[in-house]
């Protein structure tokens, strides 16, 4: 965002030089005006620039440096060059934790998008009490992950949890959920989709409400049914909101941590260990801040690559009307 604003500011500055000042004006005044303009822009940027530099760019640069060292947080860091990266790239565990993370995203994204879409479509109608319902669906979004994770752990308790008790009522033997390596990740996906449903719903609802009702009316007059209107009118016009949801969810998905930490701690037996949990463990449990920083940068590169591909690919399907 900073970069975009910076460009915009530079553009205006250029315009000023080429079009604005008459030739007769002394250069000194012109320059001082430009300096004043730049300072004004900077003043407006400062409130967001300071925290970004201090808490995002600063730590990123620091992490890049730490990633080239061996540092246990206690003794001075020791320079090791690219050894941490080499170790990570040859360690089969690295591939494993990235695979677990991708597994999470592949399970989570369709669930949260389709669920959010269904609720947004439902709440976009003249339903009674829809304002209340919108609030209810948004409630989990603003609830602490620790609370949500503990409640879900309890709901999904393999022996006496609500979910398996209900399943047993219908004669189905419920799975071992978080206690079973095969079901630990699905448990986390389920809880995450439930919690984030409201966020996706709000974004998509805003998108739905910006769609001109006349377009839908026209389609109806032309004889298009509900599904036809959904696929040919609503979804194409909703694509900018969909794009936003997918980009944000993917970035957050790669950084999944809180729910894993609180629900399974990466277990059982490492079955739900994800990248950020590994970064946490390496730094704060095992005193390997260098390796953790290297892993952070690998994760950053992966997220960057995925996001760039998405932004390139959006031209093919995102319709800004």
Partner 1 sequence: MRTTALATAGIVAVAALALSGCSADSADESGPVTITYTNFISNDGNEENLQTIVDAFEKENPDITVEVTTLPYADYGTALQTDLAAGTVSDMFDIEYANYAQYQANGVLAELPVANPDAYRQSLLEAYQTDGTQYALPSSFSTVVLYYNSDLFDAAGLDYPTADWTWSDEQAAAEKLTDAAAGVWGDHQPVSFYEFYKVLAQNGGEFLDDSGTKVAFNSPEGIEAAQWLVGKSGTVMPTIEQGQGTPDFDTNLFKDGKLAMLHTGIWVFGAVADVPFGWDIAVEPGNTEQASAVFSNAVGVSSGSKHPEAAAKFAEFLTSSDTMVQTRLDSGWELPPISDEAALATYLEQGDPANRQAVFDSLDGIALPPVVAEGQQEMQDIMTEELVEAQAGRKTVEEALASAEERINAVIGG
Strand partners, 78: 70
Query: Is 74 a residue that touches partner 1 (CB under 8 A)?
Result: yes
Query: Is 300 a residue that touches partner 1 (CB under 8 A)?
Result: yes
Residue of 18, 28, 128, 285 that binds partner 1 (CB under 8 A): 285
The minimum distance between CB 61 and partner 1, in angstroms, equals 8
Query: Is 292 a residue that touches partner 1 (CB under 8 A)?
Result: yes
What residues between 100 and 139 interact with partner 1 by CB under 8 A?
Answer: none
Instruction: At 70, list the tokens.
Output: 């061996």
Query: Is 66 a residue that touches partner 1 (CB under 8 A)?
Result: yes
Query: Is 181 a residue that touches partner 1 (CB under 8 A)?
Result: yes
Nearer to partner 1, 218 or 308 (CB): 308
Residue of 287, 306, 307, 310 that binds partner 1 (CB under 8 A): 287
The region of 32-40, 60-68, 108-116, 238-246 touching partner 1 under the rule CB under 8 A is 60-68
Angstrom distance (rounded) from CA 251 to CA 176: 29
Residue pair 153/178 in contact (Cβ under 8 Å)? The answer is yes
The residues, ordered by sequence, that sit 6+ positions from 113 with a Cβ below 8 Å of its Cβ are 200, 242, 245, 246, 249
Query: Is 270 a residue that touches partner 1 (CB under 8 A)?
Result: yes
Strand partners, 69: 79
The minimum distance between CB 297 and partner 1, in angstroms, equals 7
SS3 at position 321: coil
Residue pair 48/257 in contact (Cβ under 8 Å)? The answer is no
Backbone angles phi, psi at 25, to 5 degrees: -65, 135
List, in sequence order, the alpha helices (H) in the chain: 2-15, 27-52, 58-66, 83-90, 92-123, 130-138, 145-155, 162-169, 181-209, 213-221, 226-229, 235-254, 258-263, 275-280, 289-317
The minimum distance between CB 174 and partner 1, in angstroms, equals 11
The minimum distance between CB 177 and partner 1, in angstroms, equals 9
Distances 109 to 11, 102, 189, 207 between C-alpha atoms, Å: 38, 10, 9, 18
What residues between 161 and 180 interact with partner 1 by CB under 8 A?
Answer: 176, 179
The minimum distance between CB 313 and partner 1, in angstroms, equals 23
Nearest to residue 96, comparing CAs of 302, 280, 272? 272
Residue of 216, 240, 297, 306 that binds partner 1 (CB under 8 A): 297
Query: Is 284 a residue that touches partner 1 (CB under 8 A)?
Result: yes
Query: Is 289 a residue that touches partner 1 (CB under 8 A)?
Result: yes
Torsion of CA 180, 163, 275, 248, to 10 degrees: 160
If binding means CB under 8 A, how many residues of this protein chain bind partner 1?
A: 47
Positive or negative: CA dihedral 44, 50, 52, 58? positive
The residues, ordered by sequence, that sit 6+ positions from 251 with a Cβ below 8 Å of its Cβ are 303, 307
The region of 201-209, 215-223, 237-245, 262-270 touching partner 1 under the rule CB under 8 A is 262-270
Q: In the stretch 200-239, what mask flags binding to partner 1 with x, by CB under 8 A?
A: ----------------------------------------
Query: Is 308 a residue that touches partner 1 (CB under 8 A)?
Result: no
Which residues here bind partner 1, judged by CB under 8 A?
54-56, 58-63, 65-66, 72-75, 157-160, 176, 179, 181, 248, 252, 254-255, 257, 267-270, 275-276, 279-280, 283-287, 289, 292-293, 296-297, 299-300
């Amino acid at each position: 965002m900073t970069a975009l604003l910076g460009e915009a500011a530079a553009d205006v500055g250029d315009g000023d030089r080429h079009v604005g000042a008459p030739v007769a004006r002394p250069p000194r005044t012109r320059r001082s005006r430009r300096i004043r303009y730049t300072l004004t822009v900077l003043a407006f940027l400062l409130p967001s620039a300071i925290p970004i530099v201090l808490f995002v760019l600063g730590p990123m640069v620091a992490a890049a440096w730490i990633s080239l060292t061996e540092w246990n947080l206690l003794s001075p860091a020791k320079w090791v060059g690219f050894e941490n990266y080499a170790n990570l790239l040859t360690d089969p565990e690295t591939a494993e934790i990235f695979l677990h993370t991708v597994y999470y995203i592949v399970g989570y994204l369709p669930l949260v998008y389709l669920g959010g879409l269904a609720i947004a479509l439902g709440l976009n109608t003249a339903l009674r009490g829809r304002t209340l319902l919108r609030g209810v669906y948004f409630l989990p979004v603003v609830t602490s992950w620790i609370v949500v994770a503990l409640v879900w752990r309890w709901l999904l308790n393999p022996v006496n949890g609500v979910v398996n008790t209900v399943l047993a009522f219908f004669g189905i033997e419920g799975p071992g959920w978080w206690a079973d390596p095969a079901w630990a990740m699905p448990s986390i996906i389920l809880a995450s989709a439930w919690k984030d449903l409201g966020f996706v719903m709000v974004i998509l609802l805003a998108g739905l409400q910006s769609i001109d009702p006349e377009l839908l009316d026209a389609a109806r007059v032309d004889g298009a049914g509900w599904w036809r209107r959904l696929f040919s009118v609503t979804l194409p016009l909703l694509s900018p909101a969909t794009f936003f949801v997918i980009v944000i969810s993917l970035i957050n998905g790669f950084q999944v941590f809180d729910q894993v930490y609180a629900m399974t701690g990466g277990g059982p037996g490492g079955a739900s260990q994800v990248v950020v949990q590994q970064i946490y463990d390496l730094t704060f449990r095992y005193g390997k801040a260098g390796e953790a920083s290297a892993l952070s940068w690998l994760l950053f590169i992966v997220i960057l690559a995925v996001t760039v591909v998405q932004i390139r690919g959006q031209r093919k399907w995102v319709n800004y009307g």
